Amino acid sequence: MTKKQKKVLIRIIIAAVLVAVCYFIPIGNSYLRLAVFMVPYLIIGYDILRKAILGVVHGEVFDENFLMAAATVGAIILGEYVEGVAVMLFYQIGELFQSYAVGKSRRNISQLMDIRPDYANVEANGQVEQVEPDEVEIGTIILVQPGEKVPIDGVVTEGSASLNTSALTGESLPREVGEGDEVVSGCVNMSGVLRIRTTREFGESTVSKILELVENSSMKKSRSENFITRFARYYTPAVCYGALALALLPPVIQLLLGQEPHWSLWVTRALTTLVISCPCALVISIPLSFFGGIGGASAQGILVKGSNYLEALSETRYVVCDKTGTLTKGVFEVTYQEAAAGFTETEVLEAAACAECYSNHPISKSLRDAYGREIDRGRVSDVEEISGHGVCARVDGRMVAAGNRKLMSRLNIVPVEPSKTGTEVHVAVEGRYAGYILISDVVKPGAREAVAGLKRAGVKEIVMLTGDSRTVAEAVAAELGVDVVKSELLPADKVAEVERLLAEKGKKEKLAFVGDGINDAPVLSRADLGIAMGAFGSDAAIEAADIVLMDDDPAKIALAMQISRKTLGIVHQNIIFALAVKFSCLLLGAVGVVGMWWAIFADVGVMILAVLNATRALTFRKK
C-alpha cells in the first residue's frame, strides 16, 4: 500500500469512528448536530469537494466528483446527515479499493516484465565497476555473472552459459550461448561468467524497446474504451439534468394542480439518482480489464501494442502466414537421402560434403552440417563450381559431382526420381550415379498443432504465402493442414494477395498477417493485424508489427486469441452488469422504491465488483 493510500485509509477509519459516535450520541440542537457531523464529512470529503470546485472553475463540471459533492451537500442541506457522510465515506472506500486494485495490477505486470536491469558490470583496469546501463557505450566489454540480468544487447566474447529467457518468451526452456553468440538484454544468466561486447546503447536495446512498448500500450484504446469515454461524456450531464428535472418538475406540477408540493421528497430522490448514476464502475474497470489482458499476454511472451489490437484479435477470421521463418525454421537441413546400388548413404553424404567443402552456399553448409565431422580439405582438389548446376571436385582421387538434375544431364547421367519433395542434390562418383540427398526448410515443431489451434479458435481460412517453389510449398501446406497455399511470390505479390483477401472478407471480420517482421514489413502494415514471429532481438519486428511474439512458437497466435477473447468477455460482463444495475436503480430511485443506501451499493458496490472481475484478466491458463 502506498503512502497516499495509507493516508486515505486513516481518514476513512477516523471518519467512520466519528460517524458512529455522532449517530449513537443524542444531540437535540440541530445546529450542533450539523456541526458535529460536518467534522467527519470534511475529513473524508474535503478532497472530493476541492476537485468538484476546481472542475466547475475550469469548465469541467460533469464528473464523478461533482456528482458526489452535489449529492452529499444536498443530503446535508435536507438534514440527512448520516446518509450524506455515509455516501462520501463509502465512495472513498470504493476509490481506495480501486486505487489498490489498479496499483496491484501494475505491480503484477511489472513483475511479469521484470526485465529492466539495475546495473552493468564494466571492467576497467582489472577492476569491475557497477554503472548505470544507460552510461555504457557501444563496444564496451561488460561482465555478466550467474544470477544477473544481461543489461544490454551484445556478442559473447568469452565464456558460456545458460540464459533464462522466460521474461521475454514466457517459456522456461533455457538458451545455451557461447563465444560469438548474440545475446539480448532482459535474459538472466543461470550459469557461467560471460564477457559481452555491447552492440547497442541501452536506450536502443531489446529490453528498453519492450518496456516502452508495454508502457505505451494504454495509448491505443479499443472500441469498448472509446465507447465508454463517449458514453460518460453524454451520460453524466444527462443524468444531472434529469436529476434537476426530477427535483423541480413534480413539485411544480403539484403546485399547479393546487396540491401541497413535496420538495424534500423529490429533492431526496434526485440526490439518490445522482449517487446511483456515477459511472466509476465502467470508467475504471474497462481500461483495467484491457490493461490486465495486455499484462497477462506479456507473461506468455506475447507483446500487444494497444488494447485496440487485443480487441481485433478476437475478431480475426483469416490468418495469412509467411512460410519461411514462420511455419518453418528458415534453416536448410538434410531431411532424406537414398543411395544407388553399390553405394551406402554414408558414402553419398561424405562425397557430397567433401565436394562442397569450399562453397559458402546454404545448401553446401547444410550438407557439411549433416556430415557432422571435420573435413580435411587436403583430400579435395580440382574444385569446379558450375553456376546454377552444382560442384565437381576430385575427392580422394575420385571425381565427384554434386548438384541438380541439370548437372547430371550435363554429365550424361540419368538421376533417380525422388520419392519425396525437397531441394535435390544428386551425386555421381567417377561418372556413376551414387544417389541423391533431399534438403528442406524444416517445419517447426508444433506448427501443425498451431494450425489446428487456429481452426479451433474460429479462424475460417489459413493462407500460406511463400516465394518457394510450388511442389515444396504444397508439400508443407499438406503436412500442416493449411487451407490455401500461394507459391513463387515476390514481396509485391504477397501484398496483392492480402489486398484481395481484405476486399473479400466481411466488414466485421479481421485479417491477420504473420511474418518475420523484417522481410514482410509491407504486408504486416497492410493487414488489419500484423503479427511478428521470431522477434527475439529483432528491432524490425518490434517496429513493424502490432503484436510481437518473443519466440518462434506459432502456437502463440491461438493463445493470443484465447487471451483476447477472455479479456473481451470480462469487458462485456462489466458493461452489461454495471449498466443493468445502474439503470434499474435509477428507475427505482426516481419512483422512491430505493433510497440512499441502495444508491451507495449501485455506485460503490458495483465498482468494487467490476474491478474485482477486471483483475481476472491478469491471469490466464493455457487450454
Distance, in Å, from the CA atom of 354 to the CA atom of 381, rounded to the nearest integer, reads 10
Average pLDDT over residues 381-398: 89
Instruction: Look at 308-312, 335-339, 406-410, 610-614 and tell me which has the smallest mean pLDDT.
Output: 610-614
Give the class (CATH, top level) of 330-442. Answer: alpha beta
- Name the most confidently modeled range: 2-6, 31-35, 370-374: 370-374
Q: Please tell me which residue, 224 or 394, carries the higher pLDDT value.
A: 394
Average pLDDT over residues 302-320: 88
Nearest to 270 by CA among 589, 593, 48, 594: 589
**Percentage of the chain surpassing pLDDT 70?**
89
Instruction: Look at 244-248, 321-325, 601-605 and tell me which has the smallest mean pLDDT.
Output: 601-605
Give the single-character DSSP code of 153.
Answer: -
Common-topology check for domains 120-151+153-199 and 330-442:
no
> Which pLDDT score, from 0 to 100, does residue 156 have?
93
Give the strands of the sheet with 141-144, arranged side by side: 127-131, 120-124, 141-144, 194-198, 154-158, 182-183
Average pLDDT over residues 261-275: 83
Distance, in Å, from the CA atom of 54 to the CA atom of 435, rounded to the nearest integer, reads 86
0.85 surpassed by pTM: no
- pLDDT tens digits, 161-176: 888 876 666 555 678 8
Distance, in Å, from the CA atom of 601 to the CA atom of 172, rounded to the nearest integer, reads 45
The partner residues of 164 in beta bridges, in order of sequence, read: 188
Contact 401, 428 (CB under 8 A): yes
Distance, in Å, from the CA atom of 120 to the CA atom of 140, rounded to the nearest integer, reads 11
- pLDDT tens digits, 230-246: 776 787 788 888 888 98
Distance, in Å, from the CA atom of 375 to the CA atom of 136, rounded to the nearest integer, reads 42
CA dihedral 557, 560, 561, 566 (to 10 degrees): 160
The identity of residue 51, as a single letter, is K
Nearest to 567 by CA among 289, 235, 182: 289
> Which pLDDT score, from 0 to 100, does residue 385 have?
85
The partner residues of 486 in beta bridges, in order of sequence, read: 465
- pLDDT tens digits, 533-589: 765 545 666 676 788 887 778 888 999 999 999 999 998 998 888 888 888 888 888
Distances (CA, A) of 443 to 301, 320, 436, 473, 476: 21, 17, 21, 11, 7
C-alpha cell at 237: 450531464
- Phi/psi for 136 (5° steps) reads -85, 130
Distance of CA 346 to the CA centre of its chain: 47
Average pLDDT over residues 188-201: 90
CA dihedral (340, 346, 352, 355) positive or negative: negative
Distance, in Å, from the CA atom of 105 to the CA atom of 88, rounded to the nearest integer, reads 26
Q: Domain 302-327+444-550: give its CATH code.
A: 3.40.50.1000
The pLDDT confidence band at residue 436, using thresholds 50, 70 and 90, is very high
> Which pLDDT score, from 0 to 100, does residue 107 have?
61
Distances (CA, A) of 518 to 81, 463, 515, 537, 569: 66, 19, 8, 12, 34
C-alpha cell at 49: 469537494
The pLDDT confidence band at residue 461, using thresholds 50, 70 and 90, is very high
- pLDDT tens digits, 100-134: 766 665 565 555 555 667 789 998 777 888 898 88
> Which pLDDT score, from 0 to 100, does residue 101 have?
65
Q: How many residues does the chain have?
A: 623
The identity of residue 585, as a single letter, is C
- pLDDT tens digits, 82-101: 878 887 888 788 778 767 76
Pairing between β-strand 547-549 and β-strand 529-532 as defined by DSSP bridges: parallel
| CATH among 1.10.3720.10, 1.50.10.150, 3.40.50.880, 2.70.150.10 for 120-151+153-199 | 2.70.150.10
What residue ranges do the domains of the chain occupy? Answer: 3-109+219-290+566-618, 120-151+153-199, 302-327+444-550, 330-442
Catalytic residue numbers? 322
CA dihedral 305, 568, 506, 487 (to 10 degrees): 50
SS3 261: coil
CA dihedral 552, 554, 556, 558 (to 10 degrees): 170
C-alpha cell at 313: 484479435
> Which pLDDT score, from 0 to 100, does residue 538 have?
58
The identity of residue 488, as a single letter, is E
Contact 324, 466 (CB under 8 A): yes
